[in-house]
Structure 1
Amino acid sequence: MSTDAGEPGLPGAEDGQVALTTGRAIAAAVARELLAPLGDRYRHTVNVAAQAEELSDAVPPEDRELLVVAAWWHDLGYAPDLVQTGFHPIDGARYLASKGHTPRLCALVAHHSAATFEAAERGLEVELADWPREEGPVPDALWTADMTTGPGGERFDYAERLSEILARYDQDSIVGRAMSRAQPSIQAAIERTNSRLATA
């Protein structure tokens, strides 16, 4: 089953076009099933998806469905039954690939929020390389939605979000080191997204 806009496979698809609400509804249901038991992780996910909806004007119309579905699914790898490597972007992407979702969607999940930096800290570059990293409006908007939403769904600016991450993780931990190194890349993605919204 595919959830990318413009591809057949979802209930309600007609002539290869997916009704805009269909993929979102399925994505929300899967996220609820897998992440609701995790409490704050699910609240974070719900609000990342809401932010993605708000940011959708920053991406081409044909990619808006994909953005929101990726937002719903960006943290699926935290679900205990899906853990393989212990690195949630890869574990989530592997799960989606096993369900037949498109390489593009899997790659957005695998690389969300500068995951390359943490993969390097964890020695998982080879595993992450199963999916090529996309550059452009969709990953930028996904990173923006994730990195301006707090761990319990709070709305933060990026400076607040980075501060709370570094408060939860030791500065010299894997996550602390990765997020410090990723900061310029994430800041640039947010700035590009805001610029696209301003001119939309």
Structure 2
Amino acid sequence: MSNTAEWAREIARQHLETSLPRRWAHTQGVAQQARSLASALGDRADLLEAAAWLHDVGYAPDLVATGFHPLDGARYLRDVHQADDHLCRLVAHHSCAVVEARERGLADELTSEFGSEPPELTDSLIYCDMTTSPDGDHLPVEERLSEILARYGSEHPVNRSITTASPTLIAAVHRVHSQITASP
């Protein structure tokens, strides 16, 4: 693990391990998935692993500001840690966050602060997040999406946004899977 990934792991651990142990288990599984992509990503592997560790840090009770974890986490990383812009943008945009931001009336804030286009490595982070269960186990993207939909009621913004984003999320996971299986 590089210095950036170690730093990211420690930040995530401090904020999630005790207060949200299940979210911490998920985060550890997402980071493990990121490490599994390292050989295909080369010098970008460290950034992906750091983003994997930090993608859900905005759920931490001490960091909640808007109640929308991608935005809260990215703002925390930017404002408190002066983290790398690309890392902050990955956290802000992870797993089609802009779709949920629209549902919550936060799309203008997200895009004005962290750009309107998802940054490079977004597909890889989607792959890591959407193939990891809440308990950190690996599973097919379709099972992960079903689990998310079952966890939230049909009127919840997460349910509506996941329903809208599912084709994009599935396509991203399949693109990454094709890239890693095609690599020598």
* TM-score between both structures, scaled by the size of structure 2: 0.93
Instruction: Kindly provide the CA deviation profile for residues 93-142 of structure 1, in whole angstroms up to 9, marking residues without a partner as x.
Output: 00010111121110000000010110000000111111123354x11111
Shift of 1:195: 1.6
- Matched residue, 1:194: 177
Q: Which residue of 1 aligns with 2:158?
A: 175
Match of 2:21 among 39, 63, 73: 39
Report if the CA contact (8 A) 2:58-2:71 is conserved: yes
TM-aligned CA deviation for residue 34 of structure 1 = 0.7
Distance 1:56 1:63 in 2: 8
Note the residue ranges of structure 2 that are not aligned, 5 or more in a row.
none
- The residue type paired with residue 52 of structure 2 is A
Q: Which amino acid aligns with 1:82?
A: L
Q: Which moved more, 1:127-136 or 1:92-101?
A: 127-136
1-structure distance, mates of 2:175, 2:40: 9
Paired residue for 2:71, among 72, 90, 103?
A: 90
Which protein shows a greater Rg? 1
Query: Between Structure 1 and Structure 2, how many residues are aligned?
Result: 179
* Unpaired runs of at least 5, structure 1: 1-19
Aligned to 1:55: 37
Structure 1 residues 188 and 135: alpha-carbon distance in aligned structure 2, compared to 1, 3 A threshold: farther
What is aligned with 1:127? 109
How much identity, in percent, do the aligned residues show?
A: 46
Q: TM (normalized to structure 1)?
A: 0.86
Moved over 6 A (4+): none
Q: State the distance in 1 between where 2:118 and 2:40 align.
A: 16
Query: Considering only aligned residues, what root-mean-square deviation do their CA atoms show, in Å?
Result: 1.2
- 1:134 partner letter: P
User: What is the match of residue 55 of structure 2?
Assistant: 74
Residue 172 of structure 1, CA deviation: 2.7
Relative to total residues, which structure has the larger helix share, 1 or 2?
2
